[in-house]
Structure 1
Amino acid sequence: MFERFTEPARRVVTAAVEESQTAGDALVDEEHLAYALFRDPDGTASRLCGGEVTLDRLKAAFTAANRRGGLSDADTAALRELGIDVDAVVTSFESGLDPGRLLPPRKPARRHRPFSKAAKRVLTLALREVVSRSERTLGERDLLLGLLRNRALAAGVFEGLGVRYADVLARPV
């Protein structure tokens, strides 16, 4: 599959591994793929998102989503309508713990960093994007579309930042 990746898409995957190493994570996850896509503020992913998503905004959104246990902004809004303030619950719970205790635990790093199930699914969905358009190569746009189609943590984060699959698909590369 990797032979179908364009050179920029290969650099994104390599950068995702670096993001995982920097964070001290044992797995490369969809979060790392997202960070790698937005390392270049003038890159394809940034342009496809209308320049609205920056690496800093993305990292802050992932941190907030991880802190809420992966709940999206839409999920927390729905709970708020039921009278449950997720942020207040988390803050109250954290007050008795060490700061950041609710963030996912970091697993010991290994020399070889395998991809998580979510990250593998992103890559599979990106490849499906290519196949659906009868194209031969997988680029950065396809990786972004894979993140948006995965309907996991990253999709919720991007949705909260105003990035929609249909909008990205409609924009010219």
Structure 2
Amino acid sequence: MFERFSPAARDSVLQAQVVARELRQPMIGSEHVLLGVLWQDSGPAREALVAAGLDYPTARERLAQLVGDELDPQALASLGIDLDEIRSRVERTFGEGALDGPDRRPEPRGHIPFSKGAKKALELSLREAINLRSGGIDAEHVLLGVLGDVGSLAHRLLESFAVDPIRLRNDLRGRLRASA
């Protein structure tokens, strides 16, 4: 399927791997692919994302916040575990900031696999290209595929910026029709 990807679409997927690696994620998710499209210099997909109020550095930082905390304080509290109390005890014993060291997750090496959601988004990008009678898969089709994966972390990321994925999808499709 990747042989049908344009250079911009390939670059988006390669950047998705870079983001996943930097965030020490074990898999490339649709949220990483979304950032890979936003990373592009130009094109209707990036223009639609920017028009919706997103920019790469801010979106990347927000994603880092969304995926960064593996512990759910509310879930642990329901089990009688108080993270604030644990932090306080550790800092009394080992010094202030003892838990604030570098990320303990190792950086993934080699090939990072695609998550089920990312695979679905890329498959949807092929369908979008076929439906739009395109000769290949471009970054716009990749973004449409990501937007078609309802309930994904990519959708949560967009919604954290008050971006409606359906409205963004319609805007992008309108831009594609206008440029055809």
Normalising by the residue count of structure 2, what TM-score does the alignment of the two structures yield? 0.68
Out of 149, 164, 170, which is 1:166 matched to? 170
**1:60 Cα shift?**
3.8
Amino acid at match of 1:53: L
After superposition, the Cα gap between the structure-2 partners of 1:28 and 1:53, relative to the gap in structure 1 and judged at 3 Å, is same
- 5+ residue gaps, structure 1, are 70-87, 100-104
Cα distance 1:137–1:60, how it changes in 2: closer, same or farther (>3 A)? Answer: same
Q: 1:110 to 1:63 in 2, by over 3 A?
A: closer
Q: Give 1:95-114 correspondences, 5 Å limit.
A: 95-96=84-85, 106=105, 109-114=108-113
The letter of the residue matching 2:36 is A
Matches of 1:168 and 1:94 in 2, distance apart? 43
Matches within 5 A, 1:22-171: 22-40=22-40, 42-49=42-49, 50=51, 52-66=53-67, 95-96=84-85, 106=105, 109-151=108-150, 152-161=152-161, 162-163=163-164, 164-171=168-175
Deviations 1:80-126 (A, max 9, x none): xxxxxxxx959x86535557xxxxx9576241211111111110111
- Name the aligned partner's letter for residue 22 of structure 2: T
Query: 1 CA distance for matches of 2:24 and 2:110?
Result: 11
Change (3 A) 1:159 1:11: same
- Structural RMSD (CA): 3.2
Identity %: 24
- Between structure 1 and structure 2, the one with the greater Rg is 2
Gaps of 5+ in 2: 88-98
Q: Normalising by structure 1, what TM-score?
A: 0.70
CA spacing shift, 1:65–1:112, aligned 2, 3 Å: closer
Task: Kindly tell me the number of residue pairs found equivalent between the two proteins.
Answer: 152
Match of 1:5 in 2: 5
Q: Which amino acid aligns with 1:32?
A: H
Partner Cα distance (1:94, 1:128) in 2 = 46
Give CA-to-partner distance per residue, 1:13-33, whole Å, 9 cap, x none.
112122222223232122221
Runs of 4+ residues deviating >3 angstroms: 40-44, 63-69, 92-99, 105-108
